[in-house]
Structure 1
Amino acid sequence: MDNDWSTAGFVPFLVALDGDIDVLALASDTANSWQPQVALHAVATLEAGNLSCIPVYPGATWPLLNTPHRFHAWEAMHGDLAWQGAFAPENKTLEAEGNDPTSGNPNRIVKAAFKEGFPKGRPNNSTSAANFMVEMVRKYPGKVSIYSAGSLTNVALAVRMDPEFASLAKDLVIMGGYVDDNMLQATGSILQADFQSDINLMIDPEASKIALTADFPQITITGNVANQVFPDKEFMKDLIKVHNPYTELFYKYYDPSFPFWDETAAALMVDPSLATNQTSVYLDVDTSYGSPNYGNIHVYQKALSPPGVRQVNYVFQVDGDRLKQRIMHAMQYPRSCADLH
């Protein structure tokens, strides 16, 4: 499970464990914040629930080509994104108040951001995230799902490292890949524009293209649908009826004005029947730096698709009630290492 982990970002691995999926490891990537900070969040949130038996492998800190400077030069031509992720300008004032680091030195660690507690352990540096993925699909051919809810850099590196990597995996499930969102960006609030900022793909457009055109047996895109279901007041009230480290962290630190982004993708990986409306399309990623759609996806029907693209499963709608029930149960009754051995 490859993600830009945060204080309240543990729900995806809890949902996977609750769905009887063996989580082989967590991997860290640069998307909302820099990879080194994200890796420590992964370790810390595992420690919070006695899940340190799951290793964390550090991913790539830098995208294949993109940098904060290059990203802001693109914004100067095409307009600012409401959400800039790790490439937002460095802000030491916000970091002192507990924000994860952005821009500046990617290897610096901001301890004030660890509301879950600074971890006692550290990531497993015996290998890289991409190499671990390759090793696992070769060890368990056809059985390993790759969950990616941050940038796709690590997945793309694995694809390039081993030409059989993608075909040996079970599937790839991503959070990201919005379509038909330009009017919402223009006419909605800044918060609505934030919801349409496809930062997971835009942090590393070239990696996104490599990963999403690779020959995985199946690719599931959780784009627009990830904006559909929110943790409303009733959800939060019911959640905290059961007190444990995860429900308390979520109740205190998850902003309920944000939808279940990464959580929706994880739940669809565990239970594809949650999708109530989906279709198959051919998909590509715009990697033209001079394009206002740089890092965004474009979809086609087969007869009109260009060479080199592939068919993916695009989910439009999920059963919101079942999704919330699955998320709540995963947090209220989390698995621990004692349950996994």
Structure 2
Amino acid sequence: MHVSLPLLCGSLLPFLTGSLALPKARAEKHYAIMDNDWYTAGFVPFLIALDGNVDVLGLASDTANTWQPQVALHAVATLEAGNLSCIPVYPGATWPLINTPHRFQAWESIHGKLPWEGAFAPENKTLDAQGNDPTSGNPNRIVKSAFKEGFPKGKPNNSTSAANFMVQMVHKHPGQVSIYSAGALTNVALAVRMDPQFASLAKNLVIMGGYVDLNMLEATGSIMLADLQSDINLMIDPEASKIALTADFPEIIVAGNVANQVMPDQKFLDEVHEVRNPYTDLFHRYYDLLFPFWDETAAALMVDPSIVVNQTSVYLDVDTSYGSPNYGNIHVYQKALAPPGIGKVKYVFEVDADKLKQRVKHSLQHPKSCADLKK
């Protein structure tokens, strides 16, 4: 059909005018899918995101500190605790791409034990009975006594998998969805393999994990100090870690060593608890003072990059050689020395500790609920 130029221009003018305004409006909206090994006191990252005006599209569960089915129910339970059940929880992969408890423990017999083995620690029915999250054994068993936040009334959304949900959302909101991962990277890797456009359509990938240059500290410090350097998030599924961290995300932010920088103390917990609500109650009672703000640091970096004090850009790869003592650990390169097929990441060395703690505090003392999100 032939259309005259004036008619064509006139008919398209409103559309073109709108299309010019649309990218600007979209750029102002920040979405996130938050993938983690959720637990009783693990809700602070999604509160930080909501407090930073990030629209959390959903939570995903993975196997890292414990098995995925237990993790998914912790996510549901901690959302229910603060009237946030309007945020769906999508179950992720229960099994890593290749790794199993037996395979992991066989690797340890050659290369040495990790102080923290996560879900792949030997099954311990005594610890299960004492209210610890399950390890090894049957991955589908649920230890109800571990739900100190209360066993959930609802269930995860089984309409699709976590990986498929990620793919759907980056296509729906191209360039606007942060993929946050503070557990294993299995779901992210599956999404990368499912859809060749997935990574490039995301806003960025923000991870907690990826320690470098800490071997001497592990050898000469205490067992607890070595525990803090256990890169279980990457090591529980090294192959997935490699796939995710070498995918073509527009930006990858790594909270590795920096995740150990800021420690809580009783004074801070008491300060947070000056405002009473279900989340400050749980935080005050169950947040473990032995461990730093691991997942919280990564969440704050996703929300507010201005908290970064020191970072660098490096090329990053993951060791996937089962015969290597560094299996599941990252290796970084400068561009001239990097092997082909790996990309550049932002590796954060230091954050503003006061800003981070204020974000944690404000998100807990002023948590958003579903009523707030509907406004």
What is the TM-score of this pair, normalised by structure 1?
1.00
Structure 2: distance between partners of 1:145 and 1:58: 18
The residue that corresponds to 1:255 in the other structure is 288
Structure 2: distance between partners of 1:288 and 1:90: 26
Q: State whether structure 2 residue 307 is matched by structure 1 residue 271.
A: no
Shift of 1:237: 1.6
Of the candidates 36, 51, 64, which is equivalent to residue 3 of structure 1?
Answer: 36
Residue deviations 1:121-154, cap 9 Å, x none?
A: 0000000000000000000000000000000000
AA in 2 matched with 1:190? I
The residue that corresponds to 2:341 in the other structure is 308
Of the candidates 243, 246, 266, which is equivalent to residue 213 of structure 1?
Answer: 246
Gaps of at least 5 residues in structure 1 are none
The residue that corresponds to 2:106 in the other structure is 73
Of the candidates 101, 121, 126, which is equivalent to residue 134 of structure 2?
Answer: 101
Structure 1: distance between partners of 2:46 and 2:129: 29
Q: State whether structure 2 residue 124 is matched by structure 1 residue 88.
A: no
Residue deviations 1:290-340, cap 9 Å, x none?
A: 000000000000000011111000000000001000001000110000000
3-state SS of paired residue (1:25)? strand
Shift of 1:226: 0.3
User: Map of 1:102-181 to 2, 5 A cutoff?
Assistant: 102-181=135-214
Shift of 1:233: 2.4
Structure 1: distance between partners of 2:267 and 2:88: 34
The residue that corresponds to 1:19 in the other structure is 52
- Between stretches 208-217 and 247-256, larger displacement belongs to 247-256
4+ long deviations beyond 3 Å: none
Superposed CA RMSD in Å reads 0.4
The residue that corresponds to 1:57 in the other structure is 90
The residue that corresponds to 2:279 in the other structure is 246
Q: State whether structure 2 residue 61 is matched by structure 1 residue 31.
A: no
Structure 2: distance between partners of 1:237 and 1:33: 29
Structure 1: distance between partners of 2:185 and 2:166: 13
Residue deviations 1:264-289, cap 9 Å, x none?
A: 00000000111100000000000000
Shift of 1:234: 2.1
Residue deviations 1:227-268, cap 9 Å, x none?
A: 000112221120111111101101111111110000000000
User: Map of 1:174-189 to 2, 5 A cutoff?
Assistant: 174-189=207-222
Residue deviations 1:36-92, cap 9 Å, x none?
A: 000000000000000000000000000000000000000000000000000001111
3-state SS of paired residue (1:9)? coil
AA in 1 matched with 2:354? D
Structure 1: distance between partners of 2:68 and 2:100: 14
Structure 1: distance between partners of 2:338 and 2:249: 18
Gaps of at least 5 residues in structure 2 are 1-33
AA in 1 matched with 2:99? N
The residue that corresponds to 1:45 in the other structure is 78
3-state SS of paired residue (1:276)? strand
3-state SS of paired residue (2:55)? coil
AA in 2 matched with 1:201? L
Residue deviations 1:141-174, cap 9 Å, x none?
A: 0000000000000000000000000000000000
